[in-house]
Amino acid sequence: MDEKKQALLGMTPAELRQVVVQMGMPSFTGGQIASWLYQKPVGTIGEMTNISKANREKLSQLYEVGLMPPTDCQRSTDGTIKYLFPTSNGKTVETVYIPDGDRATLCVSSQVGCKMGCLFCQTGRQGFEGNLTAGDILNQIYALPERDSLTNVVFMGQGEPMDNLDNVLRATEILTASYGMAWSPKRITVSSVGVKSKLRRFLDESDCHVAISLHSPIPEQRAMLMPAERAMPITDVVALLRTYDFSHQRRLSFEYIVFGGLNDTTAHAKEILRLLRGLECRVNLIRFHQIPDSDLREASEERMEQLRDYLTQHGIFTTIRASRGQDIYAACGLLSTAKRIAAERGQSL
């Protein structure tokens, strides 16, 4: 993307109208641009054929669409595809396309790296490299070769979505607005470790599904796995969630990576029940995928199934999430552009 030009992707119709009016064009031109950006996506301003040639040329002097195709992709034996997308600040993020029968889910990133430092996550080890703009987030969707086959988007890639809430909300607004993709918000799930003040705002301003990273119901153990527990206790997060209604279309889920010999006991299952009792929610059990220099290990299939069955029998609908793309480091917890960043800097990891 030309650094001298500003991207139009990520702007709302109101902002686009402001842009064109300031350039001496009719305000309705902003709506035309929004249509070209979000409903019949084009790669260049020159393709916006219902705008006069003179206005297109004027617009092109200062702006560009902002679509940036992926610079790399890796294909898994199970059909999962991991894409590397450039960002507007010259960095890169990973995005994972997961086809599954008549469903196709895209796992998008909201930040380059992450501040949360979870013990089991490669993105956390990368550290924080910057927030994505709304255009960067949308680019992962609009520049995706399989865009037209998508049925769902999950904000479960690199970064903590609540730590970049303004841009996440703007992206989900455009995806669900009548001028955008016009998706139902029920096709979008946004995850969080539980940034309480931001989570409240997200719940108030969005109808998208929400997924909370739990990973242990025991505060001391969760703090060991997830340093964010110290500032954002899971008990406080659950107390906040109890003030919202999840009994209708909006879904609340808790993500639980199962570590062998650590958080996979019946005692943990009982603590999960105690923590979540009476809350309309589901639990997704996730296999741990080994990362370098970590003592954490994967739980057995038997323990995964015992946890699932115990929780389900006691009233919490629980599933074991299928692991996808592990052979290309696209599975949960494995996304990182740290190696690429280090290579660009002439360093080694």
Helix (H) or strand (E) holding 257: strand 252-258
Contact (Cβ atoms closer than 8 angstroms) between residue 260 and residue 297: yes
C-alpha distance from residue 221 to each of 216, 229, 262 (Å): 6, 9, 9
C-alpha distance from residue 212 to each of 60, 252, 307 (Å): 42, 8, 18
SS3 169: helix
At residue 257's C-alpha, the angle toward residues 101 and 133, to 5°, is 70
Rounded CA separation 236/275 (Å): 11
Nearest of 219, 179, 157, 205 to residue 16 by alpha carbon = 179
- Name the strands in the sheet holding 188-192, side by side, starting at the edge strand that comes first in the sequence: 72-75, 81-86, 92-100, 103-107, 152-155, 188-192, 209-213, 252-258, 282-287, 317-320
Contact (Cβ atoms closer than 8 angstroms) between residue 99 and residue 144: no
Task: Please give the torsion angle defined by the CA atoms of residues 98, 153, 233 and 223, in that order, rounded to the nearest 10 degrees.
Answer: 20
Longest dimension (CA), the chain: 70
SS3 288: coil
Rounded CA separation 91/18 (Å): 29
Q: Which residues are catalytic?
A: 94, 332
Rounded CA separation 258/77 (Å): 24
- The β-bridge relationship of strands 81-86 and 92-100 is antiparallel
Residue type, 35: S
DSSP at 211 = E
